[in-house]
A and B are shown apart, each in its own frame.
Chain A
């Protein structure tokens, strides 16, 4: 399924007409597709109008019942910004040094340089980051410093023009982090997409913008049963299933 096909699902999504698995896949797509998010917001506002048109008078007793119930229900706290992980040179080094050292020994040296620089940059503009990015940063740090973190290094793309990449997995965190010093440029309208390999079935795991250097990406979704990960080139916005042959497949260490 191409990005255009996914985009076509915006209507069905807003009408609640997708099955659960399609809903989840579309929501992953939504996180990376600004245009889709705007359209979905408008469609949901349109749906709200459809709902208002069938408004019904609630039974008078319902209000007191609901007010009675909320009085004893604890509210979810707001999602607060996670403190950005400190760069290794920060004062917290003594405390966290051991854990970062472990991450360093597991990730390839080139990747570590990328991570350190990236984390430092992230720390710099952390206050402007969206909450999702904040949480992602914290999760990346958690994976990289997990006691059971494992790193696999693989090559990406054809000989001569290829690059290399590292994937760090943590079964205890059930997450994987993809690190690359930069993937080859793509023609416009194309993107790199990451996949979990569930016994040959590829599960979407997020997009990587081409061209940028020092990328560190938390794969979307849990590792779960995945035996490895793959990278394909997809139309901008990503796809539900790979539409091209993978440019890299990297196995995860056996549990």
Chain B
């Protein structure tokens, strides 16, 4: 929780990638300004969203060049469709990252249709993306918090959430990979998210 003065002096703000955004400009406010065609607001919003967008796209797609291409597409899409953002339905980061995850997943599914089975076999050999990330910077606290919460899940919950979100698998693929019934995977994904939500203190 923020202390009473946490938004004041230098250094008490969370550290952001690149240039610090204008103080007091939260992503929600920035995105609303972007919807009005404000390119400076977009440049400030970029500092909040570019790192997580690239991170989740890369987690799903793996290929660095393709990931950067898709991340750029997502960021342009944020600019183009900013007027669709409804702050009363959730925060700007959730809105942006839902777009990013869906774009990455759509890309990987269309590209992988042909080599699906090989891909799944290969996935079993890999440790979750979560443990492989080495380049992320300045999100250490968040990373630690999420890691702790993931560890608190049951194994099936954790694997279901990680394989779907970080790898972009469908629940049917997750069920096959983990050799558990479809209904179990659906339930574990929901249970896992409920526990993550509560552990992270998320409110929509």
List residues of chain A with CB within 8 A of the CB of B186: 8-9, 11-12
Does B200 contact A49, Cβ atoms closer than 8 Å? yes
In the bound complex, CA of A194 to CA of B144 (Å):
48
Does A58 contact B80, Cβ atoms closer than 8 Å? no
B39 interface neighbour in A12, A53, A70, Cβ under 8 Å:
A70
- Asked if B203 CB lies within 8 Å of chain A CBs, one says yes
Does A48 contact B93, Cβ atoms closer than 8 Å? yes
- Asked if B50 CB lies within 8 Å of chain A CBs, one says yes
Does B165 contact A50, Cβ atoms closer than 8 Å? yes
Total interface residues on A, CB under 8 Å, equals 47
A-binding residues in B (CB < 8 A) = 17-18, 35, 37, 39, 42-43, 46, 50-56, 58-59, 68, 71-72, 75-76, 79-84, 89-91, 93-94, 96-98, 100-102, 105, 129-130, 133, 135-139, 142-143, 145-147, 161, 164-166, 168-172, 174, 183, 185-194, 196-197, 200, 202-204
Q: For the complex of A and B, list the 7 residue pairs with the smallest distance between their C-beta atoms, beginning with the closest.
A: A11-B190, A11-B189, A41-B204, A55-B51, A53-B146, A51-B56, A15-B164
Surface stretch bound by B, among A71-79, A99-107, A167-175, A196-204? A71-79
List residues of chain B with CB within 8 A of the CB of A44: 90, 94, 97-98, 204
B165 interface neighbour in A18, A47, A70, A78, Cβ under 8 Å:
A47
Given contacts A48-B97, A70-B76, contact A55 B55 (CB under 8 A): yes
In the bound complex, CA of A77 to CA of B83 (Å):
7
In the bound complex, CA of A18 to CA of B182 (Å):
12
Given contacts A58-B51, A62-B71, contact A19 B82 (CB under 8 A): no
Does A56 contact B54, Cβ atoms closer than 8 Å? yes
List residues of chain B with CB within 8 A of the CB of A9: 186
- Asked if A17 CB lies within 8 Å of chain B CBs, one says yes
Return the chain B residue nearest A49 by Cβ. B200
List residues of chain B with CB within 8 A of the CB of A254: none
In the bound complex, CA of A77 to CA of B79 (Å):
11
Q: Is the interface of B mostly helix, strand, loop or mixed?
A: helix
Q: Is the interface of A mostly helix, strand, loop or mixed?
A: helix
List residues of chain B with CB within 8 A of the CB of A147: none
Does A57 contact B164, Cβ atoms closer than 8 Å? no
Nearest CB of B to A27, in Å: 12
In the bound complex, CA of A38 to CA of B88 (Å):
11
**Most chain B beta carbons < 10 A, residue from A9, A48, A76:** A48
Nearest CB of B to A64, in Å: 10
Does B76 contact A66, Cβ atoms closer than 8 Å? yes
Q: Mark A61-92, 1 if CB is under 8 A from B, else 0.
A: 01101110111011111110000000000000
Does B79 contact A73, Cβ atoms closer than 8 Å? yes
List residues of chain A with CB within 8 A of the CB of B42: 67, 70
Return the chain A residue nearest B50 by Cβ. A58
Does B200 contact A54, Cβ atoms closer than 8 Å? no
In the bound complex, CA of A49 to CA of B174 (Å):
21
Interchain residue pairs with CB less than 8 A apart (20): A12-B185, A12-B186, A16-B102, A18-B170, A42-B203, A44-B94, A44-B204, A45-B203, A45-B204, A46-B193, A46-B200, A51-B52, A53-B142, A53-B146, A54-B55, A54-B58, A57-B135, A57-B136, A69-B72, A75-B81
Does A79 contact B83, Cβ atoms closer than 8 Å? yes
Return the chain A residue nearest B72 by Cβ. A66
Does B143 contact A53, Cβ atoms closer than 8 Å? yes
Return the chain B residue nearest A41 by Cβ. B204
List residues of chain A with CB within 8 A of the CB of B174: 17
Return the chain A residue nearest B104 by Cβ. A16
In the bound complex, CA of A47 to CA of B137 (Å):
19
Does B39 contact A71, Cβ atoms closer than 8 Å? yes
A56 interface neighbour in B51, B75, B197, B200, Cβ under 8 Å:
B51
In the bound complex, CA of A49 to CA of B42 (Å):
21
